[in-house]
Every structure is written in C-alpha cells, then in structure tokens.
Structure 1
Amino acid sequence: MQKNDSAKVAVIQTASVLMDQEANVEKACQLIAEAGDNGADLIVFPEAFMSGYPRGLAFGSVVGKRESKGRKDWARYWRSAVTVPSEATEKLAEAIRKVQAYVVMGIIERDDKGSQGTLFGTMLYFGPDGEILGKHRKLKPTGSERLIWGEGDGSTLTVVDTPFGRVGGLICWENYMPLARMALYQKGVDLYIAPTADARDTWQSTLRHIACEGRCFVLASNQYVTKDMYPNDLACASDLEEQPEELCRGGSAIVNPLGAYIEGPLYHEEGILYATLDLNQIHEGRFDFDVTGHYARPDVFQLTVNENPNE
C-alpha cells in the first residue's frame, strides 16, 4: 500500500447518549461529518461511545446480592448495545463513505452469534468505504466493569494497514498490560489508539510512555460527561446521588513518537482535537529505539501470543 508522509487526525471528546443506540448513531454520524469536513483522514471516538460507559452505576449489585431494579437498568443497557454487523453499523458506514476517512469507534458490543447475554467493550475499525476492517474486544474489564462486560481473546489484537501506517490499539487499562502492548508493537503499530474512561493525571503519563516505548503516535480519546447528561428515569438513579456533577473531565490528547503533546490534553468540555501528523517522525524516533528491532533481545526474551478465538 502506498504510504503518505502525513495524515490529519481527529480525536473526538464527547459524551454518549447513555443507553440510547439510535441517538448515539445520530450523534456519531454528525461528528463524523464534522471531522470529515475538516479534512480528517482518521477519526477516533472514545471508549464505549455507543451506547455508553455507565460510570457511577452499580446496577443494584453488591457481593452476594443483585436487586431487581438493577436488572432493569442492565436490560436497558443490553438493548442499547450494538451487534456487528447491524443496521447501526451500516448507518455509520454510510456517514463514513461520505467523508472517505478511517474511523475507530468505541462500542458496547452484543454478540448475537455467541452468548447473547454477554456484552463486550469493543473498538471497531472502519475503512473509508465504510467496510469494517477489524475489531478489538477488551481483554480484561477493570474492577466493576467485570460485572457488565465479558473478556475478549487474542483473536482481536487487531492492527489495520492504512496509507498512513499501521493503526491499532488497546482500550483503557489494557494499556497497563506490558505484554498486550508488546503484541501490538510486534505487529508494527505506527498510530496507536488508546480510547479510555480514565481522566486522572496518571493516565497522561501512560500515554506519553507508550509513545516513547513504541515510537508511535498515540491518539487518546475520552468522554466528557456530567450527571445531567444521564437519563432521568434510571431505575438505579440513586446510585448517582453521591457522585460529582462532572462525572468524567476528559483528557483526550495526541502525542508524538518522542512523548511530547501535539494537542491536548483537553479537559472540562466536549471538543475535537485536530493535528496533521508528520509520519517521518515515526522513523526518526526509531533511530535510537526500536522496541521490536535493534533494541530487542530475542535471544533473551520472546513473546508468544495465542490469537485463536475462544470457542
């Protein structure tokens, strides 16, 4: 594939319309159109954009007990999830074809072909023709996420070849898993996608470390969410009473292969970060550090990855 010397990227920081698939599709299509009209070659959405990261909700659960009201909210969340492919993904594809950009979309995925009661935190990779080029399911949901999401497997450690380099990534705290990162480095990732729900200062050090470690651009997208953006008719609405008004402050950023910010981090508002990346910086960065090349020691360390799907 012919490689370009530059690429314009758009990292979107916005809130989901929690538990409303149709409204999320409409919002996503509007944002794709906006970023595309501004010349973006690659558009990145936050973790769990469709149909939401239910921050602050316990779904009526404590150890050893689950309340019926929590089951009602869970069923609503399940119904808003996205099957792949589906009418929802085709509507996204239609919007993508109009702007001819690559898009990485964070979804909550419902697998109607397998265990229909399990949801997955997933990244979908769309090509400029709207084709789904691949997906990645989060390998290890964090903390209470394990209550609502299942575990992905090694078959979705996806890297996509594009005219501006290989695009791949991990979701949120998967990026704290050194071997998962190394699996992507072994696949030659150039533009590393890191959607997240983590708005803490320490997350920013992770983004900069990955950029230095992989000598890659890091595109990190988060949501900006306040309590008044949530539905007002949740069965477990009382879960939010002790939560702050600003549930997630954001922190989306674009980082270069030497760990310096190009744009962001963006806090306390929704917005789109744009940057035109000089792709030559990837090769310049690997002059003195190539984690899978001249700085590797395969005679000492070897990584074996099971990329077979779980049956």
Structure 2
Amino acid sequence: MSEVLVVGELNVDLILSQLNAFPAPGKEVLAQDMDVVLGSSSAICAAGLAKLGAQVGFVGRVGNDAYGRFVLRALERLGVDTTTVRVDPDVRTGATVSLVYRGDRALVTYLGSIATLRAEDVPVDCMSNYRHLHVSSYYLQKNLQEGLPLLYRQARALGLTTSLDVGYDPEESWQRDRVLALLHHVNFFLPNEGEACALADTGDVEEAAAFLARHVQDWVIVKRGAEGALAHARDGRRVHVPAFPVTVVDTTGAGDSFNAGFIYAYALQRMPIEDALRFAAVCGALSTTGIGGTAAQPSLEQVWEFLRQH
C-alpha cells in the first residue's frame, strides 16, 4: 500500500534572491542570484514526504509546455508518483515569481493550470491504495473547492486520515463559512498564524486555534515561524513547540516542509503529538537553509541527527 496522496497545484518558482533593495513602483532593483525550481505548496509537501521515505502519489494538472515538463521531471526525480498528474494541452503551467529580501519574500503568481484541477480528477479507486490524503492551497484552486467536501468524505469512508493547508487567500475574502464547514471532514488542519487568525476573525493566535479546533476532527496545528508551532485538539488539549535555530537562506516552502514532517510523524508513524511537532519543526527549519522549497529538505536520517544534537 502507498502512504500519502497529495491533491493540489503544480507550478515552477522563479526565485530572485540577494536583492539590493525591495522594489517600489516605477523602480528597478538588482538580484544577485536567480533559480528556477519546483514550486507550489502541494508539490513541496509531497517532495518533503518522499525525502523522508514515504510513498507519495500526486494528483494535479500541468500544461503541455516546458514548465509542465520541468515540474513532472522534478517530482519524478524526488520519488513522487506522477501517474495521476494530467497534462492539459489547453492551459499553461502556473508560475510564481519569488522576491527574496532580508530573509523574507514576496510572491507574484500566474495561476494557469493551478486553477483548473477538479475533485473529479481524483480517481476514487486510486484513493483506496493510500493511508492519508493531503490538500494544499485551497484558495488558489477555484475549481477544486466545490468538490472537496465529497472528496474528503470519500477518503474518510475508505479509512484514510485527511489534512488541509488552505494557504493565503490573495483576495482576502477567506470564505469562512465554507472553510469551517470543510474542516468537519479534516483530521489535521495546518494553517499559519495569519491564516488561522483571519479564519477565526481574531488577532489572538490562542483564540484562533481554540476556535478552529472546534471544527476539525482531531488537531489544528498553527505554524508560527520563528515562534514555533501551536497545536490545539478538538478535545481541548494544547501543545506548543519552539522553533529550532538555523541559518536561514530562503523561507520558501518552510510551512510545506513542516506539513510533510507532521504528516509523516503523526499520521504515518503515530508518534506522540509533541514528538511529531518537534519532528515537523526540524523539517521546516532545515528546509530554509537552501534556495527553493525542496533543495534543503531533510532526509529521515538528517532529522534524527539534528534532533540528537538539539
């Protein structure tokens, strides 16, 4: 049996780093480095799981173009099964330009194929081969949204655990009612602090976690960057783990690598929640020590070695 099925968006990231300033309207700035790498929250999470040794399949869409071929080759090299990725000749593969400045970043995304994936693209008979279903980037995938409740119900009926990372809403509407209803089908909800507070309509992260936990099946895990991670269970339990200090090069995909670590540790390996959060925090931290979302993702051995030293 395979282990994790990831359903989501696929795109390339064009990363411009070591900027001499952050660009203002009408101004031009210089970047000292440029990389073209595998992007997208879903793909980075899938890659992180594969690096840890999990068997991972992916459902998504790309265009019949150079970027689409780049994405597929990158996933396959990383050990992700792309059998159920559809190549659509009628769309162009999505792309994100990432401007990295002083340890943070700004993103500009062309959706392209990202917005064309539908729940019907996920073969139900395929799901029965997996133990866990993960979906990322809810707000970017307009055509996937309507079918997600049924997809999650089908997965749970087949015995899969489920997780969701909604990502940032570029429109900042947040669709609170729809997302809160969707969370009833989700075992593990994995927002960052800003997303959690926006969905809970509060500026207090503890309040946000407690509110969202009332809607999920099991746990809300709020990623807080340098402040670590906060987990709140539906039954009221709370756990906090600090972040691990590393030399940050690029934060692209850190939350997605955290997601991969948590899914591996908690959903697949059944570690105690605090151990799983520490494991996930290491995955997120180490991923920031290289350019792009996947270059510095750790292997299982690297995570254990880091934990032994810390």
TM-score band by shorter chain is 0.3 to 0.5
TM-score (structure 1 length as normaliser): 0.39
The structure number with the bigger radius of gyration is 1
Q: Which fold has the larger relative contact order, with Cα–Cα distance below 8 Å and residues 6 or more apart in sequence?
A: 1
